[in-house]
Chains A and B, each alone.
Chain A
Amino acid sequence: MDELLREVIDIFVAEVREQADRISQALLTMEQQPSTIPTEIEELYRQAHSLKGSSASLGVEELSQLAHHLESVLLPVRRHRSSLTAEMVDLGLKALDAVKLRVVGLLADNEVGLAEVHRFAEQLEQLAQRNPLPDPTVGAQALADSSAAPDDLRSDDIGEPTFAGSSEAPDSVRVSIEKLAALIQHTDDLRRLRGQLERHQSEVTTMLRGLEKLLRTNAKNGDPDPKRTDEEIQHVVRGLRAMRRDLLDDIEGLQSTTGELDDGLRAIQLLPAALLSQPLHRAIREACRSTGKEATLVLRGEDVFLDRTLLEAIQTPLLHVVRNAVDHGIEDVAVREAIGKPAVGRISVTIEQRGSQVEITVEDDGRGLDVTRIREVAIKRGLLNATEAARLDEQESYQLLLRPGFSTKEETTTLSGRGVGLDVVNTTVRKLHGSLTLESTPGAGALFVISVPLTVAASRLLMLEEQDHTFALPLPAVARIALPRREELVQFGGQTVYYIDGQPHTVLRLSKLLGQTHSGDVPNRQPLLILRGASGVAIACDKLRGEAELVLRPLPIELRRFPLLSSVAIVPSGPALFVLSPQGLLRTVGSLRMAHDARSRRRTVLVADDSITTRSLLRSVLEGGGYRVRTASDGDEALRIARSEPIDLVVSDVRMPRLDGIGLLQRLRSDPRTSTLPLVLFSGANNDEDKQRGLAAGASAYLAKSDFERGQLVDVVTQLLQEAGS
């Protein structure tokens, strides 16, 4: 047996049985109530398509082929809402029995049912080829009901797709008997512990009654027998001591059992998204083989842990989307080469946890969605008239792809063309209370974003402490953690800056982002977090508490207005913790920086130096201090910039080609537009002559490169700008 199939055999078998049952039920319902054909056939097709897809992705070709031939047999019914013959139903039911028999063989890793599946697949194929005439016994009413439908969709199919199984949204997980037995063992342990606690409670009651009786007697008659009283009290004390020992054992037992129970339950519910890797790879490989195209998969977010139910539910639609990307999106090799694209197409699947949602993005670098073609097909299928189609914007046109039976593909292949794939995706996503959005850049590719809520998911979290409160942050959002010493934090213009790889990072306290004030000293090793997507900012907190893998719960409704909170992490036997929203933090960082920029009016400093190293260094230092920086490689260029752009201050080297620093200073002073522009000479030579020449020519300050200190330059610049502004 294939290794992948072995991993998921229990789930696969359960799913196939469910699909076979649903298809059988749909066949019977249609036969008995022909008026249900329009809805049941869609349900049947979805199930058959899912069966075909999941079997193919696990290499169970015989089931995939059978499902394909079953779809072919029933295609006339779907296309024309007619002609469901008794022969189709008979053969279909027998074939589905064979499917169920085959999964018994798969479970036992033998060939049971294989011959039957092949035989019925062949018979279905022959039946499809015979293209049977409509059987007057079945489907006539349905035909009459839908005779006005122009093509394979009726007008009443437009809009909300009906889904027979919509009330059966996944609300259960499949658990092996073995795992269940282990859990039951834990509950047995808990029951035993409960019995012990009840016994202790009973003992306490007895002792209490004895003591109360003694006290009552003594209160009434005095203490007639102090020796006996003492003995009784000693007896109770001994009993309590023994009970304390027992209770300590019970508590230990409870801790151990609840811990194991917790681990067991979590293990059942959570699976890594990496499990999607092989099915996705396989689906793309198979799709490429069928189409003669070439594409590779780039999968990100394999370490995200997802609820088992969610993972199971999302796998089939995800496989549909990637197959769809190969079949519809990725161009043939020759075409790609002709238009300058790499011969091998790329399909990226990214799984991310965003707050209380899981976002799965499928992006391909193919031809993109053809809005014109989509509109043409919609008109051809009678979904819209030409005027209505012309009024649709791009997004509305893309949404047409999600309607039942919609396909822009002319031919039906084993991959697509039946208009089922995206319909299944959309329906499944909606059943999971999620959303599906489509984007496209013509010629460059398409983007499908599936966003579904996390019902239960364990996340890797970074635990941190600020102002005596513990928070959690999704670990994937943290790009880097730094623990600088106090002296490595530089104060620039009222801001703390820390340099990482030569890049200045403004330090913002977490409490400030949370709208609170921070009290307490900066520790010697100040924890700093650099979030992904937050360039130039480091978030400071009091302490780091390590990593944890915890189950997340959505925020209660009344807390969803707090943008910095994304969900709640449940700590076993501990307090609930707020999980901070990386997006919310980034937005708050952005607004704080904008406010700071507005306060400092983002003054622009022109740096003139012929050394690119010095220019880069000064840019980094000044930007760290909150200034916008322009650079020039000599005095000439600096002069041109100072005359044509709003410059607030110039920092200039003395020795430069073409026009040196002193020359630049003289030219600036002689021009009324720049005569008062502060200029700091930044000289490589720390000698009095240069300094005197510079100051005599009107330099506002003179700094020697040899004595350079980051903080000093920013302080001088800030002071000069304040003086210039006052």
Chain B
Amino acid sequence: MAEEVPSSADDITRLLHERAAQLARRERGSDEATLLPHVAFQAAGQQFAVPLRYVVYASRLRHLTPIPGGPPYLLGICALAGHLVSVLDVAAFLDLRQRGLSDVACCLVVSYEGRELGLCAERLLGIEDVPAAAISPWQGGSSMIPQMATLPKLRLLLLDLPQLLSDPRLQEERQ
């Protein structure tokens, strides 16, 4: 069948979007068996995961310096193996707390485009190879967690780190 010839800029844009969507569907279909390594952790009763490629360090949290006058979702700063990071309580930040963060024991240092942030965790659950087929959209209403992964023993909320770091609450305030 002959392809429709676009006649205007809008038509071209629509056509490009359709092609992109087709390509995306095709890629997803072929990659359903692909394993996407994530680091899973538990915080405030929720199980979260971030792609392994963003994780630069994970450690027990020994020293946490609280931020005077800081918001409740920023627990403090810590220096871990040369990484100086603010420690974010993801559940509080995203208003997803199921129960109080009882025992902040670990910190996951994540990095994106040269910027680093610490994610606090009660427990590190380990590295999980998430099959692409196990990923589905998450309807929790946060743009920072667009997807979830349902694994045999875990239900992981997949953090969109670039989206998280671009949140205005984590930006330098413009003077």
List residues of chain A with CB under 8 Å of any chain B CB: 469, 471, 514-516, 553, 556-562, 564-565, 568, 570, 574-578
Contacts and interface: CB of A to CB of B under 8 A. Distances in A.
Contact of A562 (B67, B117, B169): B67
A308 to B, nearest CB: 19
Interface string B57-101: 000000111111110001001110000111000000000000000
A514 B116 CA distance: 26
Nearest to A467: B68
Given A556-B77, A558-B74, A558-B86, A564 B173 contact: no
A556 B85 contact: yes
B171 interface: yes
B171 A558 contact: yes
- The residue in B78, B79, B86, B117 that gathers the most chain A C-beta atoms within 10 A of its C-beta is B79
Interface residues of B, number: 23
Interface of B: 63-70, 74, 77-79, 84-86, 115-117, 169-173
Contacts of A565: 67-68
Minimum-distance CB pairs A-B, first 5: A575-B63, A561-B173, A514-B68, A560-B172, A515-B69
Contacts of B70: 559, 562
A-side interface mostly: mixed
A516 B70 CA distance: 11
A469 B66 contact: yes
A514 B117 CA distance: 24
A576 B69 contact: no
24 contacts: A469-B66, A515-B69, A516-B69, A556-B85, A557-B115, A557-B171, A558-B172, A559-B70, A559-B74, A559-B77, A559-B86, A560-B173, A561-B173, A562-B67, A562-B70, A564-B68, A564-B69, A574-B63, A575-B63, A575-B79, A576-B65, A576-B84, A578-B65, A578-B77
A565 B172 CA distance: 13
Given A559-B67, A561-B171, 9 more contacts: A469-B66, A514-B68, A515-B68, A553-B84, A560-B173, A562-B68, A565-B68, A568-B84, A575-B63
Nearest to B84: A553
A578 B173 CA distance: 19
A404 B150 CA distance: 61
Nearest to B115: A557
Nearest to A515: B69
Contacts of A577: 65
Given A561-B173, A570-B84, A578 B67 contact: yes
Nearest to B174: A561
Contacts of B115: 557
A568 B68 CA distance: 13
A575 B78 contact: yes
A466 B96 CA distance: 33
A570 B74 CA distance: 19
Contacts of B172: 557-558, 560-561
A566 B79 CA distance: 16
Contacts of A514: 68-69
B2 to A, nearest CB: 49
Contacts of B171: 557-558, 561
Given A553-B84, A556-B86, A561-B173, A570 B79 contact: yes
Given A514-B69, A564-B68, A557 B170 contact: yes
- The residue in B63, B64, B77 that gathers the most chain A C-beta atoms within 10 A of its C-beta is B77
Contacts of B79: 568, 570, 575-576
Contacts of B67: 559, 562, 565, 578
Given A514-B69, A559-B67, A574-B63, A568 B77 contact: yes
- The residue in B64, B171, B172 that gathers the most chain A C-beta atoms within 10 A of its C-beta is B172
Given A557-B170, A568-B77, A562 B69 contact: yes
A575 B63 CA distance: 5
A558 B117 contact: yes
Nearest to A556: B86
A575 B77 CA distance: 9
- The residue in A515, A516, A562 that gathers the most chain B C-beta atoms within 10 A of its C-beta is A562
A561 B71 CA distance: 11
Contacts of A560: 172-173
Contacts of B63: 574-576
A576 B62 CA distance: 11
Contacts of B117: 556, 558
Nearest to A553: B84
Contacts of A576: 63, 65, 77-79, 84
Contacts of A561: 171-173
Contacts of B169: 558
A553 B86 CA distance: 13
Given A575-B78, A576-B79, A576-B84, A556 B65 contact: no
Contacts of B86: 556, 558-559
- The residue in A471, A556, A564, A568 that gathers the most chain B C-beta atoms within 10 A of its C-beta is A556
Contacts of B74: 558-559
B102 to A, nearest CB: 21
A556 B68 contact: no
Contacts of B170: 557-558
B89 to A, nearest CB: 13
Contacts of B116: 556
A515 to B, nearest CB: 4
A570 B69 CA distance: 21
A433 to B, nearest CB: 13
A484 B117 CA distance: 43
Contacts of A562: 67-70
A469 B77 contact: no
B64 to A, nearest CB: 7
Contacts of A471: 68
B153 to A, nearest CB: 27
Contacts of A558: 74, 86, 117, 169-172
Contacts of A469: 65-66, 68
B26 to A, nearest CB: 38
A568 B74 CA distance: 16
B117 to A, nearest CB: 7
Nearest to B64: A575
Contacts of A553: 84
Nearest to A570: B79
A46 B79 CA distance: 40
Nearest to A580: B68
A564 B79 CA distance: 20
B84 to A, nearest CB: 5
Contacts of A570: 79, 84
A7 B160 CA distance: 53
Nearest to A554: B84
A30 B51 CA distance: 49
B66 A556 contact: no
A625 B170 CA distance: 42
A556 B114 CA distance: 11
A516 to B, nearest CB: 6
A187 B74 CA distance: 36
B110 to A, nearest CB: 12
A568 B116 CA distance: 15
Contacts of B68: 469, 471, 514-516, 562, 564-565, 578
Nearest to A558: B170
A142 B38 CA distance: 56
Contacts of A568: 77, 79, 84
A560 B78 CA distance: 16
Nearest to B79: A576
- The residue in B69, B78, B169 that gathers the most chain A C-beta atoms within 10 A of its C-beta is B69
